[in-house]
Each structure stands twice: as structure tokens, then as C-alpha cells.
Amino acid sequence: QMEKGQLSRDTFMKEIAAMTEHIVKKAKEYDRDTVPGDYATLQTPCPNCGGVVKENYRRYTCTGKPGAEPCGFSFGKSPAGRTFEVAEAESLLATKHIGPLEGFRSKAGWPFTAEIVIKHDEETNNWKLEFDFGDDKNADTGEIVDFSQQDTVGPCPVCGAPVFEHGSNYVCEKAVPTVAQPTPSCTFKTGKIILQQPVEREQIEKLLATGKTDLLDKFVSMRTRRAFKAFLVWNKDEGKVTFEFAPREGGSKFPPRKTFSKAAPAKKVAAKKSAAAKTPAAKKAAAPKAPRKPGAGLKPSEALAAVIGAEPVARTEVIKKLWDYIKANGLQDATNKRAINADAKLKPVFGKDQVTMFELAGIVGKHLSA
């Protein structure tokens, strides 16, 4: 009896010791996570081999199961300039998906929001990290998006088709697969949150109608972590939504000079604001006629006038008219829907036989004058 009691007591003590060791080890690991130069061991296993995934200088890398070789799975710690928290990396491995996360930056330096997925790659027979933008996902799966229950936010500045809310973005109807057009032909998309600034629907309505939002004051710079104010503007040259900084903000580090110099005086903005606010329903039609709106009343060149008429028009309206003309005359290339074949009238405008739809906005710019 005594022996038996002694034995169970030994077992009990051993268990206590093992448990204590485990707790101490855990505590040490926890400590290490916060010590510079020491790296985390993720609590979630490698999606490929079930091995242990550890952080190193630049990546989270599979170190293999105990006694086994690493399988080669790894992913960068800071994709597109945004560093994963350890908990985020674990969540990503656990669910193979995380986000949408804010604070990524494109190669050109513009902020974006995206979801990240871990996908199995047939070629390498391993898993890899990928950005997952809502509409790309739809393009991949061929999932058709239905906007029929939504009111449009306004016309796409690239192609004139209606823009709708979609996931974490505002997108051109033609930038996602729809019943009417399963293969997207446009790329216009802008985030609902940009550098922590929520971009309300009414601001996008304004941007699409006038080319510019109100002055928004809740942007937070990824670099300096400081809040800043800016307008969001449709940048026709770059073909995307970019910042325009308020004149007096020019002294701070953040605003790049080239966009700063384009900033409009505050008074003009106020005038435009009230004009746009008064006529939300008539915006589309009013755009080319309202003289105070930027981009309105531009004079088409002779070549362009031959296609859309000589009346002064807003830039967005020009693209829409051009697009109508292209459609009406069947000039969209049959094999490559993104290419437009010039007819006799369009050739002097394009300066060549064929252009892509992405060049359109730039070309139009050359044929408009104030």
C-alpha cells in the first residue's frame, strides 16, 4: 500500500515538475517574443507539413516537425511594407486568411487595404501568401457580382460605367464579373478605408461627380504615424485616386510637392461642395454644364470634336462619350476587349491604330484645353 502510495506520489511530483517546466518554458518564450533580436515561434503549425513555424530576420519559416526536415514553407514578415503582428501571422496560418488589413503600400507608394490568403501552389507543391482583393477573388472564381439591388455611387472616371460599393471597395461595374459582362474590362476601384480614413459613400459620390472629395482629416501616415488632411482626387495621368494636400499643409514632410502644387484654393472647394450637395440626383447630367466644377467646360481639340462634338465638356463626360462612340461603332477589339481599334475619326485622336482602354484617359487629356 505504502509503495503504491509512494509511486503515485512520485508520478504526481513528476507531473508537477513537467508542468512547471512547461510553464517556465512558455514564459521564457513569451519573454523572447518581446526581446529585440529574439524571434517568435508560432503556435500554429505549418499548413504544408504540420511542422513548427518560426520567425527569423525577414520571414516566418517552417522548421519542420521534430526530427524532420523543414518543408520549405515560408512567408515574408512585411508584405507591401506592412509588418505582421505575431498574432496576425498565427491567425493567418490557422484560417489561411486574414483581413482586410489596412496599411499596405503599393510599389508606387500608394496605400491600399487588402485581405491576405495562404494558397496552395501547384507548381511548388507548397503554400504561399497572396494578396486577395475582393474583385480579384471574384475574377478568379468567376463569381458573378450582382449590383442590381444597389444604387450607383456615380460614373466610373475611366470608362463611364456605374460605380458601386463592393466589399471593402468602391468598384466600377465593369471591373468585376457581372451577368452582363463576365470578363472585366475596367480596373477602377478605390478603398472604403484609406490610411485609416473612412471614405464615406457621399465622398465618393463627390469624387466621381467633381473629381475631388471634401478635405478629409483622418488620414494617418504610415511613415510618420501622424494624422494629416488631404483631398482624394481622381488623377487622370496616373489613372487612379491619389491625394491632394491642402495648401497650408505644404510645410510638413508628408505631402509630395508635385501634388501639393496642384491644390485648389479652399474657397473654390467650398463653392463646389455646395453646388454638388444641392444636386445629388442631377449630378451626372449637370457635370458637363456646371462651370465651377473642375474638369467641366474643357474644349475638345479639332480631332476630338470630330468624334464627340465641339461643345465644352467635363473630362469624365468625354470618356463616357468616347466610350459610347466606341461601342456604337463596334470598335472594341473582338479578341482583346481591352483594346480599341481606331476608325478614321478616332485615329487622329489616338495617333495610332489601336490603344488599350487604360490609355484612353491619358489620350483624352491631350485633346482637352481650358
Contacting residues toward Zn ion, per CB under 5 A: 46, 48-49, 51, 62, 71, 73, 156, 158-159, 161, 172, 174, 186, 188
C-beta of 71 vs 269, nearer to Zn ion: 71
Alpha-carbon distances, residue 106 vs 109, 127, 165, 168, 290 (angstroms): 5, 23, 22, 17, 35
Distance CA 38, CA 180 (A): 54
Which CB, 49 or 101, lies closer to Zn ion? 49
Asked if 296 and 285 count as a contact pair (C-beta separation under 8 A), the reply is: no
In angstroms, give the least distance from the CB of 341 to Zn ion.
Answer: 19
Least spacing, CB of residue 161 vs Zn ion, in Å: 5
Contact assessment for residue 34 and residue 85, using Cβ atoms and an 8 Å cutoff: no
Strand order in the sheet with 154-155: 154-155, 162-166, 169-172, 189-191
Tell me whether residue 156 or residue 263 sits nearer to Zn ion (CB atom): 156
Please state the closest distance from residue 63 (CB atom) to Zn ion, in A. 8
87 contacts: CB under 8 Å, gap ≥ 6: none
Ordered alpha helix ranges (H), the chain: 2-34, 86-95, 134-141, 201-210, 257-260, 266-278, 283-286, 302-308, 315-328, 347-350, 360-366
DSSP state at residue 237: T
Give the residue from 280, 287, 282, 237 showing the smallest Cα distance to 258: 237
Nearest approach, Cβ of residue 256 and Zn ion (Å):
26
Shortest Cβ 124–Zn ion spacing (Å): 12
Instruction: Please state the closest distance from residue 119 (CB atom) to Zn ion, in A.
Output: 15
Facing residues of 273 across strands? none
Q: Which is nearer to Zn ion, 74 or 197 (CB)?
A: 74
* Shortest Å distance, C-beta 305 to Zn ion: 24
Looking at the Cβ atoms of 156 and 232, the one nearer to Zn ion is 156
Q: Measured from the CB atom, is 195 or 287 closer to Zn ion?
A: 287
Indicate the residue among 71 and 199 with the shorter CB distance to Zn ion. 71
Distant-in-sequence, close-in-space partners of 357: CB < 8 Å, separation ≥ 6: 158, 159, 185, 186, 338, 339, 340
Closest CA to 207 of 254, 158, 258, 249: 158
